[in-house]
């Protein structure tokens, strides 16, 4: 089971997304993440939430740049069909490279598809 790097460009215009951490008032906007337009709305939401949690821990975090995206084959995790997604991100504020791992469920993908119709 190999990884597949994908950087498809989404041609749909949309409002910049933002996410706020439940731990504080810190918010991260999609405008702070270079390359976020290549992610699906579900991936954007999960990534922005993770970045807002990082900013709560360290206020010098951000802005960010997406270096690469890896989407793996679907697999079952605790009886839920999920697609592991790894996003390699460069934090330009701290000059650090790290990887965010997400498990996008089949339900989230289906809801995302319905929103586009």
Summarised one tens digit per residue, pLDDT across range 82-105 is 999 999 999 988 889 999 999 899
Of 65, 13, 77, the closest CA to residue 41 belongs to: 13
pLDDT at residue 48, rounded to an integer: 92
For residue 46, being part of any structural domain is answered with yes
Q: How many Å is the maximal CA-CA distance in the chain?
A: 40
Count how many domains the chain has: 1
For residue 21, being part of any structural domain is answered with no
For residue 97, being part of any structural domain is answered with yes
For residue 3, being part of any structural domain is answered with no
For residue 95, being part of any structural domain is answered with yes
Domain that holds residue 85: 41-115
d(CA 114, CA 110): 6
Q: Model confidence over 1-43: pLDDT tens digits?
A: 455 454 444 444 455 555 554 544 567 888 899 999 999 898 9
Q: Which residues of 55-81 are buried (b: 16+ CB within 10 A; e: fewer)?
A: bbeeeebbebebeebbbeeeeeeeeee
Q: Is the pTM of this model over 0.75?
A: no
């Amino acid at each position: 089971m190999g990884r597949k790097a994908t950087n498809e460009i989404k041609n749909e215009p949309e409002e910049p997304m933002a996410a706020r951490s439940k731990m504080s008032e810190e918010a991260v906007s999609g405008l702070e993440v270079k390359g976020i337009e290549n992610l699906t709305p579900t991936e954007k939401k999960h990534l922005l939430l993770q970045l807002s949690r990082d900013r709560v821990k360290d206020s010098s975090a951000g802005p960010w740049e997406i270096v690469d995206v890896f989407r793996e084959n679907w697999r079952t995790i605790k009886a839920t069909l999920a697609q592991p997604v790894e996003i390699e991100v460069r934090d330009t504020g701290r000059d650090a490279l790290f990887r965010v791992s997400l498990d996008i469920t089949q339900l989230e993908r289906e809801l995302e598809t319905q929103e586009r119709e």
